[in-house]
Amino acid sequence: MHRLTLAQIARGLAAKDFSAVELSEALLARIGQFDPQLNSFITVTADHARAQAQAADARRAAGENGALLGAPIAHKDLFCTQGVRTSCASKILDNFVSPYDATVVEKLAAAGCVSLGKLNMDEFAMGSANESSHYGPVRNPWNLECVPGGSSGGSAAAVAARLIPAATGSDTGGSIRQPAALTNLTGIKPTYGRVSRWGMIAYASSLDQGGPLARTAEDCALLLGAMAGFDPKDSTCVDQPVDDYLAALNRPLAGLRIGLPREYFGAGLDPRLSDAVMACVEVLKKLGATVKEIGLPNMQHAIPAYYVIAPAEASSNLSRFDGVRFGYRCENPVNLEDLYKRSRGEGFGAEVKRRIMVGTYALSAGYYDAYYLKAQKIRRLIRSDFIGAFQEVDVILGPTTPNPAWKLGEKSSDPIAAYLEDIYTITANLAGIPGLSMPAGFVDGLPVGVQLLAPYFQEGRLLNVAHQYQQATDWHQRAPEGF
Amino acid sequence: MALERSDVEKIAHLARLGLDDAELPRTTETLNDILGLIDRMQAVDTHGIEPLAHPLEATQRLRPDEVTESNRRDAYQAIAPAVENGLYLVPKVIE
Amino acid sequence: MQWETVIGLEIHAQLATRSKIFSGSATTFGAEPNTQASLIDLGMPGTLPVLNEEAVRMAVKFGLAIEAEIGHTNVFARKNYFYPDLPKGYQTSQMDKPIVGKGYLDITLEDGTVKRIGITRAHLEEDAGKSLHEDFHGMSGIDLNRAGTPLLEIVSEPDICSAKEAVAYVKAIHALVRYLGICDGNMAEGSLRCDCNVSVRPKGQEAFGTRAEIKNVNSFRFIERAINHELQRQIELIEDGGKVVQETRLYDPNKDETRSMRSKEEANDYRYFPCPDLLPVVIEPGFLDEVRAGLPELPGEKRARFEHEHGLSAYDANVLSASRELADYFEQVQQVCGDAKLAANWVMGELSSLLNKDNLEIDRSPVSAAQLGGMILRIKDNTISGKIAKMVFEALAAGEGDSADAIIERKGLKQVTDSGAIEAVLDEVLAANAAQVEQYRASDEAKRAKMFGFFVGQAMKASKGKANPGQVNELLKKKLEG
């Protein structure tokens, strides 16, 4: 049962091959058996899951038949789940039992999803390797010595190891797409404003988006269709009808115009990855697509701009963690200053503190123009690049990451090296356009992914291309040994 | 624009982050590395470019002036570190 | 050394919306601690703000009333600092693009002259919670009911030159926000709070002196005292060779002095940046027109109309237009009795004394506008004299009757206007005082004038005050002439 995709599970539940209760029990057992090797779960909610599974079976017996009714998933631990610890992988929220559900959690529960628990991540979504979690690093099921990527590392590892068929993640600079690429999964970051951020604990408000990770584009379409939609509680959420992503999957690719940015294929890219990308392009050409070279000239400035904007917004978003109303409070604070400094100093990890300080500095008097404002201007340039490119092409294609998964500890002492991993993914967050990563081969036994970018609200197009590619290839069907 | 130890202390204070004296040198060094990365932005000509605060050119939606919340104090304070008589307790605030 | 005073005021008006600016919590005053603090107000992780339409409307109303520029877009910004009554660690406010731009307010000074005070801007922001310092064994208690209440911060130009002018300005703002129905102006409850920026400079010097900010002064009286005290402090300090430090001070009404707020003395770097959870707010021309059409007549317009339409003096018009309730009361009286002058006299005279005596607001007046108007009608049609009217007014105030007519009827206060009846009374009086009559007829003008009053008095006594005084005078004169 653990090998089934969401789509297959939906058919199986409908055909009464198994029940939601049986399915979730089987997966809970797998989690118990295999997760100690991966550390992908922070909290397993077995009783809660059983109750949800029973309810789903009851709904099905009463005649309902939604595609996600009884589907087992898990949530990245930055989605607030009522009555369940929501930690953001941080000591400062280790004792935070959320008093409410995120909109994403509510919507998926309403669709009948069974949530098996909360998934490990980089602390406060800041990282590309899932090595900064208070609960310990997550391991890549393809090679337990390697990182799974981040910040949705737990989501990726759990799905790749077939502990769950799909999971929710979040993407601020690549945190869905990059771990998907490093673990042979399909993951999509929707257009900014497509999915509600209510209840999704904020890292960088103008960049964050929630989205699915799964083994196929079809599964992503299923999950995204239920996650997306207008939410009046989120002012940045867009009031636009959600496309039928499933219907979009089967459109033929004839006439699809693909753009390959010349800037993607520069010196830093491992040539074997470049080969995998070009092989993917060939498959798509056979399916009817045409390819042309395009330019994204401001791409090289994306990383500095991102590493000003994201920390700046985060430095403000994380000020609410002060030991007063919830979360970690230091022992015996002697005065207010001590309460704040020790609660936050002891509660936050090193990377989070670094980014808060960078952000604080970037906003501080005398530096605002040179840093924050400058970064916002570069952001506009990057967006213009995409708007220009999409006049000539329908999707932009390239590698998701500059290299496959690296060894645990290899980049953890050099933050800059980790930051540079985000080179391909970051621009989509800055511009707000949707991006998807799909499996496209292996290098040294480790998965590599191809990224597709599309104009605003064209998630359907991305899922369509990925799905057609997955009909013609089988990279996405490979499973890691031992799981 | 290299940061000195005293700059880092000021920033940490603004952000109310308690830093170990032992951590300071390492933190200063790492922050300077990051600032070096960020400083690459200065090479870009952004003359005449408007800053982009939100990716989509959308505007703020307004909500009707209605009371939609009820008293949930017990539920919300169940997770508070220190509460008495419905008030959140903190070390004495001196005005 | 001659000194010049420069004062600028920042007034925070709590907008009278039903719900908070970014959440659907109630804004009612006086609720049990933290019973009106939602997830958003508590700054719970993952929560997001959504803007209250009425707060925007109220701010725009104010902007239109002060003839201000109202920009097409305005933007919310985060003001970052740490304080326990600030749950998110930042206050959502407005910085570079406030909702209301430059405007002005005309104030009337004690000597009757009108001065125009510039208003730099007004912006929307959220209020913080409250800290209670009653002993919780060495701790403070935080109540976040107030956190998130919408505030309109109104910033004046440094156009104010004295404590008295400052009070006049605050009173004018107070009246205006109540007129517009956007704020109840209750300073005791903190609905209207005033921060005073005060500095001095040698007369003739163009450059401003260093200013000190006196925070949260919550009554007109305290504003005057605090400013005067601060001015004196600054002048003495400079004359002693010292320098005024830019700082925040608190006014202590018990000691009548301002003192430095040590805890807020370090300069705060607020790191303002546009709030990424909120989008730019657009004010469409259609919305402006709609709000403009819904504006009540403003104090200035009303004052002018009272002068032109009702022929009131500038002074009377100013007094009667001070509050919307008072103006409405006056106009209703005028409508009933058709006499603006009498209405004005009675409202500013007897009614005012009555209200002051019992410390009542006009909306609690024991004598309604309809009742007062009805009474004045009876003066005009000679049913009662002005003097009797005072008795009727008191009776109305005491609740002795529903209307002037009822009281006049019940107490038989009708004026006697029948000339025949009055003549009969006068004849009796003259007959009873023949000697004085002789004396009168034998005296000169001056002496006659003095004695006339005696006869009037006697006539009034004989008629139990009911004889129409005008007729008495007229007929008495005739009879005395012989």
Q: What is the pLDDT of residues B14-36, one digit of tens each?
A: 999 999 898 899 899 999 999 99
Give, as one character, the DSSP assignment of residue A238. Answer: -
Contact across the interface for C45 and A316, Cβ inside 8 Å: no
Of C49, C80, C269, the CB nearest to A316: C80
Burial A33-47 (b: 16+ CB within 10 A, else e): ebbeebbbbbbbbee
> How far is the C-alpha of C235 from the C-alpha of C6, rounded, in Å?
13
pLDDT at residue C265 in the model? 46
Low-confidence ranges of chain C (pLDDT < 50): 264-265
Name residue C92's beta-bridge partners.
C78
Nearest chain C residue (CA) to B77: C34
Contact present, A249 and A281 (Cβ < 8 Å): no
Instruction: Decide if A105 touches C, using CB distance below 8 A.
Output: no
* Active-site residue (options: A24, A90, A128, A151): A151
pLDDT-above-90 percentage for chain B: 75
Of B53, B65, B87, the CB nearest to C142: B87
Instruction: Decide if B62 touches A, using CB distance below 8 A.
Output: no
Determine whether A155 is an active site residue: no
What pLDDT digit, counting tens, does each position of A186-232 carry?
Answer: 999 999 999 999 999 999 999 999 999 999 999 999 999 999 999 99
Residue C441 has a CB neighbour count (10 Å cut-off) of: 11
Give, as one character, the DSSP assignment of residue A114. Answer: E
* Helix/strand/coil for C155: strand
Among A222, A185, A226, which Cα is nearest to A10's?
A222
Contacts of C431 (CB under 8 A, 6+ apart): none
Give, as one character, the DSSP assignment of residue C162. Answer: S
Q: How far is CA A41 from CA A159, A176, A213, A405, in A?
A: 11, 16, 15, 20
Interface test with A, best of B37, B83, B93 (most A CBs within 10 A): B37
Burial B32-63 (b: 16+ CB within 10 A, else e): bebbebbeebeebebeebebbbbbbebebbbb
> How far is the C-alpha of C281 from the C-alpha of C93, rounded, in Å?
13
Chains in contact with C, where contact means 3 or more Cβ–Cβ distances below 8 Å, are A, B
Contacts of B21 (CB under 8 A, 6+ apart): none
Interface test with B, best of A238, A369, A377 (most B CBs within 10 A): A377
Helix (H) or strand (E) holding A229: none
Which residues of C81-175 form beta strands (DSSP E)? Answer: 90-93, 103-108, 114-126, 130-136, 139-143, 150-156
Contacts of A141 (CB under 8 A, 6+ apart): A37, A38, A148, A157, A160, A161, A183, A480, A482, A483
Nearest CA to CA, how far is B45 from chain C (Å)?
A: 22
* Helix/strand/coil for A208: coil
Handedness of CA A243, A244, A247, A250 (dihedral sign): positive
The dihedral formed by the CA atoms of C350, C351, C355 and C361, expressed in degrees to the nearest 10? -160
Give the amino acid at A439: P
Burial C170-205 (b: 16+ CB within 10 A, else e): bbbbbbbbbbbebbbbebeebbbbbbbbbbbbeeee
Map out the domains of chain A with their CATH numbers: 6-253+439-446 (3.90.1300.10)
Helical H runs in C251-385? 285-293, 299-310, 314-320, 324-337, 340-346, 352-357, 369-380
Nearest CA to CA, how far is C81 from chain A (Å)?
A: 8
Contact across the interface for B31 and A354, Cβ inside 8 Å: yes
Q: Which residues of B touch C140 (CB under 8 A)?
A: 89-93
Nearest CA to CA, how far is B63 from chain C (Å)?
A: 5
Determine whether A377 is an active site residue: no
Name residue A75's beta-bridge partners.
A118
Contact present, A191 and A456 (Cβ < 8 Å): yes
**What pLDDT tens digit does each residue of chain A (483 aa) get?**
889 999 999 999 999 999 999 999 999 999 999 999 999 999 999 999 999 999 999 999 999 989 999 999 999 999 999 999 999 999 999 999 999 999 999 999 999 999 999 999 999 999 999 999 999 999 999 999 999 999 999 999 999 999 999 999 999 999 999 999 999 999 999 999 999 999 999 999 999 999 999 999 999 999 999 999 999 999 999 999 999 999 999 999 999 999 999 999 987 788 999 999 999 999 999 999 999 999 999 999 999 999 999 999 999 999 999 999 999 999 999 999 999 999 999 999 999 999 999 999 999 988 999 999 999 999 999 999 999 999 999 999 999 999 999 999 998 888 888 888 899 999 999 999 999 999 999 999 999 999 999 999 999 999 999 999 999 999 999 999 999
Among A479, A426, A417, A482, which Cα is nearest to A453's?
A426
pLDDT at residue C266 in the model? 58
How big is the CA angle at C386 (ends C385 and C389), to the nearest 5 degrees? 90
Map out the domains of chain B with their CATH numbers: 5-43 (1.10.20.60)
Among A102, A66, A76, which Cα is nearest to A225's?
A66
Which two three-digit tokens encode residue A307?
């590493």
Residue A115 has a CB neighbour count (10 Å cut-off) of: 24
Give, as one character, the DSSP assignment of residue B92. Answer: P
Query: What are the φ and ψ backbone dihedral angles of B91, each rounded to 5 degrees?
Result: -55, 145
> What's the half-sphere exposure (Cβ side, CA atoms, 13 Å) at C62?
36
Contact across the interface for C49 and A201, Cβ inside 8 Å: no
What pLDDT digit, counting tens, does each position of A257-306 carry?
Answer: 999 999 999 877 889 999 999 999 999 999 999 999 999 999 999 999 99
* Helix/strand/coil for C258: strand
> How far is the C-alpha of C26 from the C-alpha of C180, rounded, in Å?
21
Exposed, middle or buried: residue A254 (CB in 10 Å: 0-12, 13-18, 19+)? Answer: exposed
> Helix C469-481 to helix C434-442 angle, to the nearest 10 degrees?
70
Contact across the interface for A304 and B41, Cβ inside 8 Å: yes
Q: Could you tell me the strand order of the sheet in which C257-260 lies?
A: C103-108, C114-126, C150-156, C3-14, C192-202, C212-217, C248-252, C257-260
Nearest CA to CA, how far is C192 from chain A (Å)?
A: 28
> How far is the C-alpha of C280 from the C-alpha of B58, rounded, in Å?
8
Instruction: Decide if B29 touches A, using CB distance below 8 A.
Output: no
pLDDT at residue A152 in the model? 98
> How far is the C-alpha of C388 from the C-alpha of A74, rounded, in Å?
87
Nearest chain A residue (CA) to B35: A358
Helix (H) or strand (E) holding A28: helix A20-38
Parallel, antiparallel, or unpaired: how do β-strands C248-252 and C212-217 relate? parallel
Give the amino acid at A321: F
Determine whether A292 is an active site residue: no
Helical H runs in A252-394? 271-286, 302-317, 336-347, 350-363, 374-389
Which two three-digit tokens encode residue B27?
């933190």
* Active-site residue (options: A19, A24, A40, A76): A76
pLDDT at residue C383 in the model? 84
Separation of CA C311 from chain center:
23
Helix (H) or strand (E) holding C148: none
Interface confidence: ipTM more than 0.90:
yes
* Active-site residue (options: A90, A175, A196, A412): A175
Instruction: Decide if B40 touches A, using CB distance below 8 A.
Output: yes
Query: What are the φ and ψ backbone dihedral angles of A446, each rounded to 5 degrees?
Result: -110, 140
Chains in contact with A, where contact means 3 or more Cβ–Cβ distances below 8 Å, are B, C
Q: How far is CA A170 from CA A175, A188, A376, C51, C319, in A?
A: 6, 9, 22, 26, 63
Question: pTM, whole model, 2 decimals?
Answer: 0.91
